[in-house]
Amino acid sequence: MKLNSKGQVTIPAALRERHGLHEGDEVDVIEDGNTLRIVQVTGSSTRGQRLVRRMRGRASTTMSTSQLMELLRGE
């Protein structure tokens, strides 16, 4: 890996997948002697929580919840 001009590095995809890191996740860089450790911030929003927050209030239908459920269930 190379450090770019902004001091950023890219974590390889295989490592992100193995450790459950996703776009938007918060991480800390911790100095441990001569080593830097990247650790996921605990208590931060999960990917699903961020998605729900982003989608909330964006529905473009005038149908009620009951009407939508009826449509989805085929009742």
- Give the residue from 6, 49, 52 showing the smallest Cα distance to 25: 49
Q: What is the pLDDT of residue 13?
A: 95
Q: Tokens representing 67?
A: 């009407």
Q: What 8-state DSSP symbol labels residue 7?
A: S
Q: What is the pLDDT of residue 30?
A: 94
Helix H or strand E segment including 28:
strand 27-32
pLDDT score of 75 more than 70:
no
The rounded distance, in Å, linking the Cα atoms of 37 and 49 is: 26
Return the SS3 of 6: coil
* Reported pTM: 0.53
For the residues 31-59, what does the mean pLDDT come to?
86
Q: What is the pLDDT of residues 3-17, one digit of tens each?
A: 999 999 999 999 999
Task: Give backbone dihedrals phi and psi of 55, rounded to 5 degrees, phi first.
Answer: -85, -25
pLDDT score of 44 more than 80:
no
Q: What is the pLDDT of residue 48?
A: 84
